[in-house]
Copies of this chain bind each other. A is one copy, B any other.
């Protein structure tokens, strides 16, 4: 019996028990955003502690932070083998509006081979799978093929305000060769995916001031600059008509897309018609020369998130307003640097600001883009494990959004990050009736177990970034 057959046998015979254990975990309403649930956060951490013990992890601790605790555990006896740092979170989103749930958010229920509960997919279910994978291997072999460290935090849904400090302060304890995070999704039902890149973020607010008060547009109009005209001119200067960003040097650090990546995305046969239907537009629009997936995964953006100025109530008010403004965020891709991009935005605004007004620029929080090269052995090995279980090729994808904590790991520990997602975008995380497809629960357990063996084949140095 090879290791995959052995994992399969173990997970099959224990399925009922595992599901019951997961339901216990899901019954704890560990909503990090609500202070009423402070005790539940502690309960969930203690549940993890017990679960770590049962799996055979060691050096287990519930590490306090200024917010909710981080639960740590490790197993470090695979001498000479790579060390995996696994990150997940035990906190969940609030559950409002409660009346839209078909079964209670904290009364887990299986319907149609889907497990319904808050946290089923995001992220308790996925965290649980990694614990059970360790437990299975320890049970079968009394040891693991690689070293593992687990950190499960309780504040991901409120922006991980204390995690960066925790990582900084525990750099040595957390030292590893690769990081695995299971908090993202598959490409689609039956379509496994490894997300190897995320976009970063840089943003500014632009404020335009004209006269010291609103002016009558009849009396002064035509002789005084209108701040709305000014902000419109600035905003429209950011892109050319083809959707390309016109800020000087904006693209200069963008890592070119590899032919293999373009080919891989093309092979996904992304359904643009379905997307148009879903979001309700007649046509898509983006930078020329790139497909929709390339545009949203691999190209930087400059998006105006808000514009304001003058009168926006019903009807007409003939005002020449004293001020106007806009909020802008850029999504960044490797190897763009948020600080550098903000500098270039400032220079562009300075160059394009019209006469007759003063313009100020305020910076928002920044986040670096993240990428683990898709041909990195840890990424490719994960792809292999998926393929063995799902019997279809693994998609190597990126995501247009930003997961700040990934960038923080990348930045502080400087390790390759493997995002192994088992969720589906249809699973209502952050919404009523969150659920998790048990098909991916079952298959995922086997993928994770197999991945430990795959990683054991590498020397530690093979996995470095």
Q: Is the CB of A364 within 8 A of B315?
A: yes
Q: Is the CB of A279 within 8 A of B310?
A: no
Q: Which of B215, B282, B310, B331 contacts A306 (CB 8 A)?
A: B310
Q: Is the CB of A235 within 8 A of B239?
A: no
**How many angstroms between the C-alpha atoms of A295 and B211 in the bound complex?**
17
Q: Is the CB of A329 within 8 A of B305?
A: no
A312 to chain B, nearest CB (A): 4
With a cutoff of 8 Å between Cβ atoms, the chain B residues found around residue A213 in the complex are 279-280
Q: CB-nearest residue of chain B relative to A212?
A: B280
Q: Is the CB of B281 within 8 A of A401?
A: no
Q: Is the CB of B309 within 8 A of A217?
A: no
Q: Is the CB of A223 within 8 A of B286?
A: yes
With a cutoff of 8 Å between Cβ atoms, the chain B residues found around residue A51 in the complex are none
**How many angstroms between the C-alpha atoms of A201 and B318 in the bound complex?**
10
Q: CB-nearest residue of chain B relative to A333?
A: B222
Q: Which of B221, B283, B356 contacts A301 (CB 8 A)?
A: B221
Residue from A235, A306, A311, A399 whose CB has the most chain B CB atoms within 10 Å: A306
**How many angstroms between the C-alpha atoms of A299 and B222 in the bound complex?**
7
With a cutoff of 8 Å between Cβ atoms, the chain B residues found around residue A402 in the complex are 218
With a cutoff of 8 Å between Cβ atoms, the chain B residues found around residue A308 in the complex are 307-308, 312
Interface positions, chain A 216-230, Cβ under 8 Å from B, are 216-226, 228-229
Q: Is the CB of B296 within 8 A of A317?
A: no
Residue from A222, A281, A364 whose CB has the most chain B CB atoms within 10 Å: A222
With a cutoff of 8 Å between Cβ atoms, the chain B residues found around residue A318 in the complex are 201, 203, 303, 305, 329
Q: Is the CB of B296 within 8 A of A305?
A: no
Interface positions, chain A 284-304, Cβ under 8 Å from B, are 284-287, 292, 295-296, 299-301, 303-304
Q: Is the CB of A307 within 8 A of B223?
A: no
Q: Is the CB of B356 within 8 A of A303?
A: no
Cβ of A360 < 8 Å from any Cβ of B?
Answer: no
Q: Is the CB of B399 within 8 A of A281?
A: no
With a cutoff of 8 Å between Cβ atoms, the chain B residues found around residue A218 in the complex are 199, 201, 331, 399-402
Q: Is the CB of B306 within 8 A of A312?
A: yes
Known interface pairs A211-B280, A213-B280, A308-B312; A221-B321 also in contact (CB < 8 Å): no
Q: Which of B237, B281, B309 contacts A211 (CB 8 A)?
A: B281
Interface positions, chain A 353-371, Cβ under 8 Å from B, are 354-358, 364-365
Task: Tell me the number of copies of this protein.
Answer: 2
A84 to chain B, nearest CB (A): 27
Known interface pairs A222-B301, A222-B331, A284-B356; A228-B279 also in contact (CB < 8 Å): no
**How many angstroms between the C-alpha atoms of A308 and B199 in the bound complex?**
27
With a cutoff of 8 Å between Cβ atoms, the chain B residues found around residue A306 in the complex are 228, 309-312, 317, 319, 321
Quick one: CB contact mask for A346-357 with B, threshold 8 Å, 1 for yes? Answer: 000000001111
A285 to chain B, nearest CB (A): 3
Cβ of A232 < 8 Å from any Cβ of B?
Answer: yes
Q: CB-nearest residue of chain B relative to A283?
A: B356
**How many angstroms between the C-alpha atoms of A365 and B229 in the bound complex?**
22
Q: Is the CB of A219 within 8 A of B304?
A: no
With a cutoff of 8 Å between Cβ atoms, the chain B residues found around residue A286 in the complex are 222-224
A339 to chain B, nearest CB (A): 17
**How many angstroms between the C-alpha atoms of A87 and B179 in the bound complex?**
83
Cβ of A233 < 8 Å from any Cβ of B?
Answer: yes
A223 to chain B, nearest CB (A): 4
Q: CB-nearest residue of chain B relative to A220?
A: B296
A456 to chain B, nearest CB (A): 35
With a cutoff of 8 Å between Cβ atoms, the chain B residues found around residue A309 in the complex are 304, 306-307
Cβ of A210 < 8 Å from any Cβ of B?
Answer: yes
Quick one: CB contact mask for A11-44 with B, threshold 8 Å, 1 for yes? Answer: 0000000000000000000000000000000000
With a cutoff of 8 Å between Cβ atoms, the chain B residues found around residue A191 in the complex are none
With a cutoff of 8 Å between Cβ atoms, the chain B residues found around residue A221 in the complex are 296, 301, 303, 331, 400
Cβ of A113 < 8 Å from any Cβ of B?
Answer: no
A284 to chain B, nearest CB (A): 6
A65 to chain B, nearest CB (A): 23
With a cutoff of 8 Å between Cβ atoms, the chain B residues found around residue A233 in the complex are 236, 241
With a cutoff of 8 Å between Cβ atoms, the chain B residues found around residue A300 in the complex are 222
Cβ of A274 < 8 Å from any Cβ of B?
Answer: no
Nearest 4 Cβ contacts at the A-B interface: A218-B401, A212-B280, A285-B356, A306-B310
